[in-house]
Amino acid sequence: MKERGKIWMNGRLVPFKDAKVHVLTHALHYSTAVFEGIRCYKTATGPAIFRLSEHVDRLFKSAKIYSMKIPFSKKEISEGIIKTVQASGLKECYIRPIAYYSYGVLGLTPTPNKIDVAIACWEWNTGESSAGKTQGARCKISSWLRIDSRSQPMQAKAASNYANAALARVEALKDGYDEAIMLNYHGKISEGSAENIFMINKGQITTPPLDAGILDGITRDSVIRLARAEEIAVTERDIDRGEIYVADEVFMTGTAAEVKSVTEVDNVAIGDGKVGPVTLKMQKVFYQASRGMDDRFSDWLVPI
């Protein structure tokens, strides 16, 4: 990671190298943190943050689920995000706000600790999410089941959800795949390790519903809205593992991944094994909307 600009910590911009936490920080030991991943894109009228208010809302919802009272208002966090991007001088970046139980009392109970908030941003080079952008990603159905909301609230974007996701991701990479697809406790398709999933049949899109134990992805919501605006039907329903193998097309969505095509699952070619026309269309319309090239969705972008 290139250290560039500053990091916002509890309301102050501090130099990148000074944004440190104590080794006995509660969140480091017990995963008591909630966070967001947000993108700032270069547009013709300057850098703009994609769906900022939705991300800030989700951060506060995640915190509420974990009884964390963020000691800043949504407005203050939004302004902090904008200031952090401005201080970086970057035209495009990935932004990571995080709220966490801090240092003070180290036992399982988090609540005696104060909540700290940090916001960082850095240059995004597609790195781990490059597969699926220009050629299709090869995915593996993970042997790890996606944790279920009976065990952990999956609507929260909580650090604790990502141990399960990391196991799936690492297993897929070790087995020579690009990404994992996880089943839920009912054996239905849930999501990737950091993406929502969609399949296409006869030009129509299907995606698992939120009660499949998935994150309420902001890119998922954007793609559903874009598809409907393009008069492509979208249905939310449970998807069986077998349906994925015989789908015409499969793609995944996420802030990092954007719209990434999947052309192989468990060594089975999806459709003809090439990136399909609906995926290409959704990649194009998402690109245009996120880069300020689609007036219908200009309110998704906050100029900085």
Could you give the residue numbers annotated as active site?
A: 157
Q: Shortest distance, CB of residue 253 to ligand PLP, whole angstroms?
A: 6
59, 77 Cβ separation under 8 angstroms: yes
Report the residue number, 69 or 228, with the smaller CB distance to ligand PLP. Answer: 228
Q: Cα separation of 198 and 201, whole Å?
A: 10
191 binds ligand PLP (CB under 6 A): yes
H or E stretch at 183: strand 179-183
Q: Is 122 helix (H, G, I), strand (E, B) or coil?
A: strand
Q: Give the 3-state secondary structure of 89-106.
A: CCCCEEEEEEEEECCCCC
| Residues binding ligand PLP: number (CB under 6 A) | 14
Stretch touching ligand PLP by CB under 6 A, among 200-208, 211-219, 231-239, 242-250: 211-219
Residues 245-264 that bind ligand PLP (CB under 6 A): 253-255
Q: Shortest distance, CB of residue 5 to ligand PLP, whole angstroms?
A: 22
Q: Shortest distance, CB of residue 68 to ligand PLP, whole angstroms?
A: 18
Which of 215, 227, 259, 301 contacts ligand PLP by CB under 6 A?
215
Q: Cα separation of 239 and 250, whole Å?
A: 12
Q: Shortest distance, CB of residue 180 to ligand PLP, whole angstroms?
A: 11
86, 48 Cβ separation under 8 angstroms: no
Task: Give the residue ranges of DSSP H helices in the chain.
Answer: 26-30, 52-65, 74-88, 161-174, 218-229, 241-245, 277-290
Number of H helices, E strands in the chain: 7, 17
Q: Which two tokens stand for residue 241?
A: 């593992």
217 binds ligand PLP (CB under 6 A): yes
289 binds ligand PLP (CB under 6 A): no
224 binds ligand PLP (CB under 6 A): no
Which of 165, 205, 244, 289 contacts ligand PLP by CB under 6 A?
165
Q: Shortest distance, CB of residue 105 to ligand PLP, whole angstroms?
A: 29
Alpha carbon 12 to its chain centroid, in Å, reads 26
Report the residue number, 217 or 276, with the smaller CB distance to ligand PLP. Answer: 217
Report the residue number, 43 or 161, with the smaller CB distance to ligand PLP. Answer: 161
Which of 7, 93, 118, 194 contacts ligand PLP by CB under 6 A?
194
Q: Which of 78, 28, 31 is nearest to 304 (CA)?
A: 78
Stretch touching ligand PLP by CB under 6 A, among 87-95, 172-180, 192-200, 228-236: 192-200
Task: Give the residue ranges of DSSP H helices in 89-208.
Answer: 161-174
Binding site for ligand PLP (CB under 6 A): 37, 165, 191, 194-196, 215, 217-220, 253-255
